[in-house]
Amino acid sequence: MLLTSAIVTGIGLGSMYGLIALGFHITYTVSNTVNFAQGSAMMVGAVLGFTLMVTFGMPFWISAIIALAGCAVFGLIVERLLVRPFVERNSDAWLMATVAGGIIVDNLVMFTFGKEPRSLPSPLATNSVDFLGTGVYPLQLVIPVVGIAVAVALQIVFRRTNLGKALLAVVQNRDAARLMGINAKVVVASAFAISTALAGLAGLLIAPLFSVHSDMGTLFGLKAFAVAILGGITSASGVMIAGLLYGLLEALVTAYLGSTYTQIVVFSIIILALALRPNGLLGRAAVNKV
Amino acid sequence: MARTYGPWSRRLFLVGISATALALGIPLAKAQETIKVGLVAALSGQSAKSGEAIIRGLSVAIDEVNAAGGVNGKKLELVSRDDESNPGKGLLAARELVQREKVAVLFGGLDTPVSLAIVPFVNQAKVPFIGVWAAGTNITRNGAADNYVFRVSAVDAFVGEALVDYALDKKSAKAPGMILINNPWGESNEHALNDALKARDLKAVGVEKFETNDVDVVPQLTRLKQSGADALFLVANVAPSSQVVKSLERMGWNVPVVSHWGPSGGRFTELAGPRGEDVHFIQTYTFTDELSPKADKLLTALKAKYPINSLADVMPATGIANAYDALHLAALAMAKAGSNDGTAIRDALYQIDSYDGLIKTYEKPFSPENHDALGAKDYIFTHFVKGEIIPLER
């Protein structure tokens, strides 16, 4: 029972880390930048979902679509205001700018949404069901399915659709892509929109198991970045696998060694893993062009 | 040169006049017509509601004291400062209140770290500091030879005893476990609970910690279940406490949960679901009791002074009640002392024989050995019913 519950917990949380980390992967491959406000994007997804569903009483699907669209717009704003101006001037200050942007959004939400944590009700997280001898909410089983399905769908979109091909073209050679009539600016902006929408999806999915509040995304964003690095930020499948491994490791260490040791053991293992494979589990070696 | 006096020199001139006046002891304006009492508490941020409750309790008590003629013929006046739950800012505010505003007595708020930062300063400045919320044991038991710190609130050391007695006597627990938030507050309660268990010849079968943002506490709880825990002690704020309850519900583990007062700080039953009502937690006071005449009077005064529609607006009542009783105790001491001298007021606090308060009738509430007016016997156990805190039988 200890093992099953740890595995269910681990895979559920792991796929959330994976989804947010995929966002880091997408923007990094397309533009060599990452959005450190990913955790805040997750929170924005949950807060918008709560506001539409609970405060305005709108149906789940409409609320979810509007919330994800809101997160995508957040990504566009981050790219336009906090990343592009610095990249155009060859500065790495987008790093600090996106961190700052996340903090600003967290605080804006605290003022508007309030300081009290709230609960997003879901029919999938009301009564627990028996799963291999341990009680789980149905939502806990849905989360990894959705998480992995989205990751696979994303791969297919990248390989098969025009937007995906355009993204990959920009990744391979920005100038050649531009000559082929691909608008690189639009492609990079959409990469940011997709990445924040993924984080928003994670927020919507996890909210009923958790509580909705302004700093709910901070720790998730941090862990997801560790996951992205661990997976090798250039490989989508690597990032998703790393997410699942990270979640499992966290839950198993807590279950068998006790929660006092969780962070110490997990992060020590990450450092060890990176020492053995500096480019991550499935990542390619970065080539420094001089 | 038409202007002889620039704005700066004019200001300097005024400062000079004031300084001279002060040096000569000439009363400026109408100084000292009131006795100021200070409050340093969280008035903004996550815990803003606690500061609001304290101000309400103090203000109603001050109105009562002033209506009865004040203290030594002078009216009391409250001066409050926001510590933003930040120890540095709290200390700065305490300094300002003592040195500039010359408060006779200082009251403290919800955060143990803020109170701990103020303790050495008030002991040095010899100004009585009365805590009305923060429960950290070493705030009052601070080891100072000359201790000016008092408290009318729960104390972690006593809360540990109360929780252990309740779990053992009311829930017939024989093998209790602990699930505690991973911060200094959880740590302080781990010690208190261990000591209290030891006094009853027991040991916890397991101690588990969790983080404020943990989504799932099932692994920790499963460990406790496997070690045979038949009751749980819970110490955490409202959101993490509800994560524990949700995890218990998922596991289908119907174990009694006996908790510190964390759940009272927010929408616990919304966050934790219906099982949240099974969590029994301590309070020093609740208004939904059969109202005593004193409580009825206080509630009427609160409603007249503040926008209060239901009992949910005076929650947690603990903050209001502690502040209300603390101010009356301080006023009694100030009257006895007959002056605003800190040491005289401190010694007068020791001399209070009896005060019929809101929480209880205080008999010799303070002595040089005991600076805490409330003890383990004064806590009541409560639980949530439909969003309101309802007392369980004593």
Q: In chain B, how many domains are there?
A: 2
Kindly state whether residue B338 falls inside one of the protein's structural domains: yes
- Residues B224-256: pLDDT tens digits? 999 999 999 999 988 889 999 999 988 889 999
Kindly state whether residue A287 falls inside one of the protein's structural domains: no
In whole angstroms, what is the distance from residue B160 CA to residue B158 CA?
Answer: 5
Kindly state whether residue A285 falls inside one of the protein's structural domains: no
Which of A13, A116, A259 minimises the CB distance to B209?
A: A259
Per CB-CB distance under 8 Å, the chain A contacts of B245 are none
pLDDT of B28 above 70: no
Per CB-CB distance under 8 Å, the chain B contacts of A132 are none
Residue A1 binned pLDDT confidence (cut-offs 50, 70, 90): low
B162 and B270 together in one domain: yes
Which tokens belong to A62?
A: 């409409």
Give which of B61, B77, B71, B111 is closest to B91, Cα–Cα: B111
Nearest chain A residue to B214 by CA distance is A210
B80 and B44 together in one domain: yes
Kindly state whether residue B5 falls inside one of the protein's structural domains: no
Nearest chain B residue to A134 by CA distance is B251
Which of B208, B243, B251 minimises the CB distance to A135?
A: B251
Give which of B362, B366, B391 is closest to B379, Cα–Cα: B391
Kindly state whether residue B23 falls inside one of the protein's structural domains: no
pLDDT of A57 above 70: yes
Kindly state whether residue B18 falls inside one of the protein's structural domains: no
Q: Is B246 on the interface with A (CB under 8 A)?
A: yes
B189 and B267 together in one domain: yes
Per CB-CB distance under 8 Å, the chain A contacts of B222 are 1-2, 5-6, 255
End-to-end Cα separation, chain B, in angstroms: 82
Check B46 against A115: CB less than 8 A apart: yes
Which of B215, B223, B270 minimises the CB distance to A119?
A: B270
The secondary structure of A96-151 as a DSSP string is HHHHHHHHHHHHHHHHHH-SS-B----GGGSS-EEETTEEE-HHHHHHHHHHHHHH
Residue B372 binned pLDDT confidence (cut-offs 50, 70, 90): very high
**Where is pLDDT greater, at B13 or A25?**
A25
CA B266 to chain A, closest CA, distance in angstroms equals 7
Q: Is B218 on the interface with A (CB under 8 A)?
A: yes
Kindly state whether residue B24 falls inside one of the protein's structural domains: no
CA B185 to chain A, closest CA, distance in angstroms equals 15
Q: Range of A208's domain?
A: 2-276
Check B216 against A255: CB less than 8 A apart: no
Kindly state whether residue A286 falls inside one of the protein's structural domains: no
- Residues A140-163: pLDDT tens digits? 889 889 988 988 888 888 888 887
Nearest chain A residue to B179 by CA distance is A259
Which tokens belong to B348?
A: 């007068």
pLDDT at position A96: 93
Nearest chain B residue to A128 by CA distance is B250
Distances (CA, A) of B81 to A98, B88, B95, B247, B333: 34, 13, 11, 39, 23
Kindly state whether residue B114 falls inside one of the protein's structural domains: yes
- Residues B158-196: pLDDT tens digits? 999 999 999 999 999 999 999 999 887 888 899 999 999
Which of A9, A211, A218 minimises the CB distance to B271?
A: A211
Among candidate residues B220, B255, B283, the one where a domain is terminated = B283
Per CB-CB distance under 8 Å, the chain B contacts of A1 are 222
Tokens 């000292």 locate to B32
Amino acid at residue number B164: V
Check B209 against A209: CB less than 8 A apart: no
pLDDT at position B273: 86
B297 and B149 together in one domain: yes
pLDDT of B290 above 80: no
Residues of A contacting chain B (CB within 8 angstroms): 1-2, 5-6, 9, 12-13, 115-119, 126, 128, 134-137, 206, 209-211, 213, 215-216, 218-220, 251, 254-255, 258-260
Residues of chain B with pLDDT > 70, as a percent, come to: 90
Which of A118, A220, A254 minimises the CB distance to B219?
A: A254
Mean pLDDT is lowest, of A250-259, B308-317, B325-334, for B308-317
**Where is pLDDT greater, at B274 or A97?**
A97
Check B250 against A135: CB less than 8 A apart: yes
Q: Is B271 on the interface with A (CB under 8 A)?
A: yes
B137 and B76 together in one domain: yes
Most confidently predicted of A135-139, B164-168, B288-292, B300-304: B164-168
Q: Where are the beta strands (DSSP E) in chain B?
A: 34-41, 75-82, 105-108, 129-131, 149-151, 176-181, 206-210, 231-235, 257-259, 279-283, 354-356, 361-363, 380-385, 388-391
CATH of the domain at A129: 1.10.3470
B100 and B169 together in one domain: no
pLDDT at position B19: 54
Check A6 against B45: CB less than 8 A apart: no
Q: In chain A, how many domains are there?
A: 1
pLDDT of B315 above 80: no
Mutate one of B205, B209, B222 to test the A interface: name it (highest A CB count within 10 A): B222
Q: Is B215 on the interface with A (CB under 8 A)?
A: yes
pLDDT at position B29: 47
Check A218 against B267: CB less than 8 A apart: no
State the pTM of this model: 0.78
CATH of the domain at B347: 3.40.50.2300
End-to-end Cα separation, chain A, in angstroms: 55
CB A111 within 8 A of CB B232: no
Mean pLDDT is lowest, of A70-74, A185-189, B41-45, B119-123, for B41-45
As a whole number, mean pLDDT of residues B127-133 equals: 96
What is the SS3 assignment for A44? helix
82-101 in B: which are within 8 Å (CB) of A? Answer: none
CA B319 to chain A, closest CA, distance in angstroms equals 18
Among candidate residues B262, B283, B304, the one where a domain is terminated = B283
pLDDT of B5 above 50: no
Q: Range of B222's domain?
A: 157-283
Per CB-CB distance under 8 Å, the chain A contacts of B270 are 118-119
Check A9 against B216: CB less than 8 A apart: yes
Per CB-CB distance under 8 Å, the chain A contacts of B218 are 5-6, 9
Kindly state whether residue A154 falls inside one of the protein's structural domains: yes
Between A and B, how many residue pairs show a Cβ–Cβ distance under 8 A?
A: 84
Kindly state whether residue B4 falls inside one of the protein's structural domains: no
As a whole number, mean pLDDT of residues A168-185 equals: 82
Which of B182, B238, B250 minimises the CB distance to A137?
A: B250
Which tokens belong to B36?
A: 């100021």
Which tokens belong to A80?
A: 């336009």
B135 and B221 together in one domain: no
B161 and B273 together in one domain: yes
pLDDT at position A119: 87
Complete edge-to-edge strand list for the sheet that includes strand B75-82: B75-82, B34-41, B105-108, B129-131, B149-151
Which of A6, A13, A117 minimises the CB distance to B271?
A: A117
Beta bridge partners of B370: B367
Residue A225 binned pLDDT confidence (cut-offs 50, 70, 90): very high
As a whole number, mean pLDDT of residues B82-86 equals: 88
As a whole number, mean pLDDT of residues B141-162 equals: 94
Kindly state whether residue A248 falls inside one of the protein's structural domains: yes
- Residues B195-205: pLDDT tens digits? 999 999 999 99
Which of B48, B219, B252 minimises the CB distance to A251?
A: B219
The ipTM of this complex is 0.77
CA A53 to chain B, closest CA, distance in angstroms equals 15
Nearest chain B residue to A126 by CA distance is B273
pLDDT of A289 above 60: no
Kindly state whether residue A283 falls inside one of the protein's structural domains: no
Kindly state whether residue A281 falls inside one of the protein's structural domains: no
What mean pLDDT is reported for chain B? 88
Residue A35 binned pLDDT confidence (cut-offs 50, 70, 90): very high
Q: Is B267 on the interface with A (CB under 8 A)?
A: yes
B273 and B340 together in one domain: no
Kindly state whether residue B366 falls inside one of the protein's structural domains: yes
B121 and B201 together in one domain: no
pLDDT at position B1: 43
B139 and B114 together in one domain: yes
Mean pLDDT is lowest, of A177-181, A224-228, B7-11, B385-389, for B7-11
Per CB-CB distance under 8 Å, the chain A contacts of B226 are 2
Mean pLDDT is lowest, of B22-36, B79-93, B234-248, for B22-36
B56 and B146 together in one domain: yes
46-75 in B: which are within 8 Å (CB) of A? Answer: 46, 48
